[in-house]
């Protein structure tokens, strides 16, 4: 199981490391026969990293041994059988991390005093993560989801569980004092605890929220406290314990409808910005606006990638084999925009055909 990306995790990854901090990036494949080449490419990439460290006069023998040991441990954790579209490995003295992402990354080895995070940042933005809360009288679980996955969140107090057995139920039933499950004060207390835990998670990691459960359970949660304005509810029980695939399938049509509406709204906002002359379209214009910190809202087609050469005042198409080419310029723009406080939205391919696949609403 690879760790989950979050705003806090990305901030931690950006902090400076003791030299050398090594970033290994490699495109991977989900299916046969393409994935047969991944193990060979990873070995070649590992050899490149080892050679760079051996040839670097700024790396002491002790540091080199430490980092190469971390690199071996990291590679041992890689699971190419369950690969996504990209593999990212970070190693530095005393630490190593392995990430798999659902977005292609360029093949690179970078040795510096920070990790190369732009591809991880873009992958997280493209993933469009959501929270799904499955509510029932005896178990309330939170699911960390995306278009192709949903993993149970087992931190921040989740899941909440309790027993529904009441040792005094028989006497209460005799005297007519046995309330229904969702009018029982213990149940209300249980849901209040869940609501407080949910508020803390949403404050730290705001995302679209889907609430799933039988109608009485969903209603009680709504009575317990306010939920985000765009929360979507689904009356379907039995998902408190998952499994992952069932939660993902339940949310999928809601997610698709949400994305369709959001894309339509985004395109309307871009049209409006064009009329106000607060618009940038195409890679050159958007790249310049990102460098200047002028982007308020960035829109990128999901699978847009291009290789360029940067001449400072403009970008030119290039071949990936060119020594000074930049394969991840789109991911770099995404990271720059986010660091300056912009909102970044990925949209289906061909949605931005008239803007050469990338566009922005400007602050000024």
What's residue 184's pLDDT?
Answer: 85
Both tokens of 58, joined, read: 């700024």
Q: Alpha carbon of 112 to those of 8, 205, 254, 326: distances in Å?
A: 22, 29, 43, 17
Name the strand (E) or helix (H) holding 278: none
Strands 95-101 and 86-92: antiparallel
Residues 183, 187, 193, 195, CA torsion sign = negative
**323-344 residue pLDDT tens:** 788 888 999 999 999 989 999 9
Name the pairing type of β-strands 21-27 and 86-92.
antiparallel
For 229-269, how does the pLDDT look when each residue is reduced to its tens digit (9 = 90+)? 999 999 999 999 999 999 999 999 999 998 899 999 999 99
Residue 1: predicted pLDDT:
36
Q: In what order do the strands lie in the sheet with 358-362?
A: 279-281, 358-362, 295-301, 343-347
pTM: 0.76
Is 10:117 a contact under the CB 8 Å cutoff?
yes
Locus of tokens 């995306």: 146
Give the pLDDT band (50/70/90) at residue 3.
low
DSSP 182: G
Q: Determine the Cα angle at 214 with ends 210 and 216, to 5°.
A: 105
Q: Does the pLDDT value for residue 29 go beyond 90?
A: yes
pLDDT tens per residue across span 348-362:
999 999 989 999 999
Structure tokens at 81: 């059988």
Q: What are the Cα distances from residue 347, in Å, to 73, 154, 314, 335?
A: 37, 30, 25, 17
For residue 333 the two structure tokens come to 């723009």
pLDDT of residue 176: 42
Alpha helix locations (H) across 78-210? 118-127, 169-174, 185-204
Residue 309, classed as helix, strand or coil, is strand
Instruction: Name which of 85, 69, 153 is nearest 120 in CA terms.
Output: 85
Beta bridge partners of 23: 90, 110
Angle between helices 7-14 and 118-127 (to 10 degrees): 170
Contact 244, 150 (CB under 8 A): yes
pLDDT at position 180: 63
- Token digits of residue 73: 């441990």
By three-state DSSP, how is residue 205 classified?
coil
Cα angle value 119/7/207 (rounded, 5°)? 105
Tell me the two tokens of residue 228.
Answer: 């985000």
Which are the contacts of 289, defined by CB distance < 8 A and separation ≥ 6?
280, 295, 360, 362
Pair of tokens at residue 19: 């030299």
* 331 close to 121: Cβ distance less than 8 angstroms: yes
Q: What is the rounded CA–CA span in Å between residue 30 and residue 33?
A: 9
């Amino acid at each position: 199981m690879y760790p989950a990306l979050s705003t806090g995790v990305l901030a931690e990854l950006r902090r400076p490391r003791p030299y050398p901090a090594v970033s290994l990036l490699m495109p991977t494949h989900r299916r046969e026969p393409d994935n047969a080449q991944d193990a060979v490419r990873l070995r070649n990439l590992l050899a490149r990293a080892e050679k760079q460290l051996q040839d670097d006069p700024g790396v002491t023998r002790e540091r080199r041994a430490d980092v190469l040991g971390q690199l071996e441990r990291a590679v041992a954790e890689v699971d190419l059988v369950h690969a996504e579209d990209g593999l990212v490995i970070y190693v530095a003295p005393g630490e190593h991390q392995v990430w798999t992402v659902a977005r292609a990354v360029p093949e690179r080895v970078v040795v510096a005093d920070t990790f190369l995070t732009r591809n991880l940042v873009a992958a997280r933005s493209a993933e469009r993560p959501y929270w799904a809360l499955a509510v029932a009288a005896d178990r309330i679980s939170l699911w960390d989801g995306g278009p192709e996955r949903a993993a149970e969140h087992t931190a921040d107090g989740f899941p909440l569980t309790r027993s529904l057995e009441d040792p005094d139920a028989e006497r209460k039933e005799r005297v007519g004092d046995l309330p229904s499950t969702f009018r029982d004060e213990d149940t209300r207390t249980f849901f209040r605890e869940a609501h407080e835990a949910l508020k803390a998670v949403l404050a730290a990691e705001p995302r679209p929220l889907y609430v799933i459960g039988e109608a009485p359970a969903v209603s009680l949660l709504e009575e317990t406290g306010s939920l985000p304005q765009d929360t979507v509810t689904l009356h379907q029980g039995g998902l408190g314990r998952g499994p992952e695939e069932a939660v993902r399938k339940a949310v999928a049509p809601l997610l698709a409808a949400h994305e369709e509406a959001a894309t339509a709204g985004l395109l309307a906002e871009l049209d409006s910005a064009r009329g106000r002359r607060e618009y940038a379209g195409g890679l050159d214009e958007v790249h310049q606006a990102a460098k200047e910190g002028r982007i308020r809202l960035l829109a990128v087609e999901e699978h847009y990638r291009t290789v360029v050469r940067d001449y400072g005042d403009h970008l030119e198409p290039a071949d990936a084999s060119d020594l000074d080419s930049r394969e991840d310029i789109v991911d770099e723009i995404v990271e720059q925009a986010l660091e300056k406080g912009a909102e970044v939205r990925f949209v289906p391919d061909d949605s931005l055909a008239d803007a050469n696949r990338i566009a922005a609403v400007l602050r000024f």
